[in-house]
Amino acid sequence: MTGAAGPVAIPPILQPHVAALRGAAHREPLGLYLHVPFCKDRCTYCSFVTTRDVQLQSAVVARLVAEIRVWGEALGRPAVDTLYLGGGTPSLLRAEELAALTAALREAFDLGPLVEATLEANPGTVDLAWLEGARALGWDRVSVGTQTLDDELLARLGRIHGAAQALDALELCRRAGFQRRSGDLMVGIPGQDLDRVLGDARTLVGTGLEHLSIYLLDLDKACPLKAEVEAGRLALPSEDEVADVFEALQVELPRLGLLPYEISNYGRPGAESRHNQRYWQLRPYLGLGVSAASQLGTWRWTETSVLPAWLEGRGETELTELDAAESLAEIPLLGLRMHAGVDWEGLRAEGRRRNLQPLVDSWDEQLRVFGAQGLVTFEGPRVRLTDRGRLLSNAVFQIFV
């Protein structure tokens, strides 16, 4: 077993900016994301950084704890209002490991304004005692990776659980005291009977969960499922079928009480994920752990995605500083993902303030064309995507890159 090998410190590339980062971290409360890179088994569609080597688990936790401390100190114990423990499979953490991480967070950061603390759970890894423990530590929202309620497809996806187990897990979470529960559904799995997706959605909403994410299977990165599809052993559903289901869900979920608030997220009013919304609102977040991404002020960085390198503290951190134009462009690029859209008049004013009037004018011109095509709509000072526009949103977003 490896100990926490290398020294934990602010990556050299960030050190010159620590003062500025600290300033940014105190302008408003942060979101904090922790990445737990363990899985019992790798899903066939997954391209995230995960490992099955549980031997590394205590070293990873030790290093995460150390990172939490170092960053808390460097940023001057800033306020944090949302926590998100993602992965990987955070529910694989032992109870005492979760307790250690939580304690470190409380110590290094000011969790006074905390309004949401989410952890992700795999239905194949949870038990009541563990969930109760997590709840007692202050975690109040759980996101359960349900994916589909079709056992054959779950097996095809390499999931370690069946549909019944997923429903059981949601029930266990409720019994453990998690009022805030989210599930997810994947559309476009090879062999998926697309009519059944609507049935799955109804079943999941029927368990009383407050939030549902709808993902489209995306095989743009290398993964076993992609290889199967490319070899012709599995066929993806047609674009038309997938679009039909995505559109049907846009109608059905609101009928069931879950309103869309982002391209792939639905929730009961007030149950939107506060943490995830910050990504689209360009509000600051600090991500810790292998491959975790952060944004503070005009800086955005990602820790190494090579686990051994991360463990030994010798991985490369990728840093970019967003210039005035790029950060302005990200406001609509990410903001339009949300149903509320973007305050376009506000953006125009911000453009003038940054001396970027011509850039905003060119966006405006192109958005009007998309408006004529029925992809976006201008309502008062705001602009937002239409239902059809959401399905074709990449075409709209292209104007902002």
Contact set with other proteins (CB under 8 A): 33, 213-216, 218, 220, 239-240, 242-243, 246, 263-264, 276, 279-280, 285, 287, 291-295, 300, 302, 318, 320, 330, 333-334, 337, 369, 373, 375, 390-395, 397-398, 400-401
CA dist 67 and 347 (Å) reads: 36
* DSSP class of 306: -
Question: Judged by CB, which is closer to other proteins: 91, or 143?
Answer: 143
Q: How far is the CB of 96 from other proteins (least distance, A)?
A: 27
Q: Considering the complex, state which of residue 131 and residue 292 has its C-beta at the smaller distance from other proteins.
A: 292
* Shortest spacing between CB 93 and other proteins, in angstroms: 19
Which residue number, 130 or 145, has a Cβ lying nearer to other proteins?
145
**Residue 23 burial by CB count (10 A; 0-12/13-18/19+): exposed, middle or buried?**
middle
**Shortest reach from residue 289's CB to other proteins, in Å:** 10
Nearer to other proteins among residue 378 and residue 397 (C-beta): 397
* Minimum CB–partner distance for residue 8 and other proteins (Å): 21
For other proteins, the closer of residues 148 and 264 by Cβ is 264
User: At a CB cut-off of 8 Å and minimum separation 6, what does 117 contact?
Assistant: 82, 83, 84, 85, 138, 139, 140, 141
Cα–Cα dist 215/199, whole Å: 16
Rounded Cα–Cα distance for residues 280 and 276 (Å): 7
Q: How far from 245 is each of 143, 202, 241, 356, 394, CA to CA, in Å?
A: 22, 13, 6, 40, 19
**19 or 395: CB nearest other proteins:** 395
Alpha helix locations (H) across 182-317?
A: 194-206, 224-230, 239-255, 274-280, 307-311
Taking the C-alpha atoms of residue 37 and residue 290, their distance in angstroms, rounded to an integer, is 7
State which residue, 4 or 187, has the beta carbon closest to other proteins: 187
What is the nearest approach in angstroms of other proteins to the Cβ of residue 215?
5
Beta carbon of residue 33, minimum distance to other proteins (angstroms, whole number): 6
> Is residue 289 within 8 Å of residue 307, measured between CB atoms?
no
Nearest CA-CA partner of 383 in 349, 353, 338, 352: 338
Residue corresponding to tokens 């077993």: 1
| Least Å from the CB of residue 52 to other proteins | 21
> CB 114 → other proteins: shortest distance, Å?
18
| Residue 287 or 351 with smaller CB distance to other proteins | 287
CB crowding 106-129: b at 16 or more within 10 Å, else e: bebbbbeebebbbbbbbbbbbeee
Round to whole Å and give the CA distance between 81 and 64: 19
Enter the tokens of residue 88.
């990987």
Nearer to other proteins, 135 or 226 (CB): 226
Among candidate residues 298, 296, 351, the one with its CA nearest the CA of residue 28: 296
Closest approach, Cβ 275 to other proteins, in A, equals 9
Provide, rounded to whole angstroms, the least separation between the CB of residue 27 and other proteins: 18
Closer to other proteins by Cβ: residue 100 or 189? 189
Question: Strand 80-87 vs strand 116-121: parallel, antiparallel, or unpaired?
Answer: parallel
List residues bridging with 385 in a β-sheet. Answer: 376
